[in-house]
Amino acid sequence: MSNTENLLLEVMDLHRQKQQHLKTITRTTHRMFGRRQIAITDEERSSARSKAIAHYNQRIDALYDRINQQLPKPLKNPFAGKEEEHHD
């Protein structure tokens, strides 16, 4: 496989990881604070989702930049600028 194909596979893997992470955030209802469980508020959940989306999008964008350095015609990130859907 070429380096570009490997990078695209890495992009797909990161996107899969992002979706799994968002699903985990959505399904989590409590967090541990010392020995106690504390309910997660909607605000905390929203903040965690935003941070996860930003983290994965930054990594995916960096991979697309590396891919585009190798190609004569740049590829467009199909996920850029799209809001992530809220899955319950």
**Domain ranges, ordered by start, for the chain:** 3-70
- What pLDDT score was predicted for residue 82? 66
pLDDT, tens digit (0-9, with 9 covering 90-100), for 47-71: 999 999 999 999 999 999 999 998 8
What is the CB-side half-sphere exposure of residue 29 using CA atoms within 13 A?
A: 1
| 3-state DSSP of 10-64 | HHHHHHHHHHHHHHHHHHCCEEEECCEEEECCHHHHHHHHHHHHHHHHHHHHHHH
Q: Is the pLDDT of residue 18 over 80?
A: yes
* Over residues 10-29, mean pLDDT: 96
Contacts of 67 (CB under 8 A, 6+ apart): 4, 7, 8, 11, 75
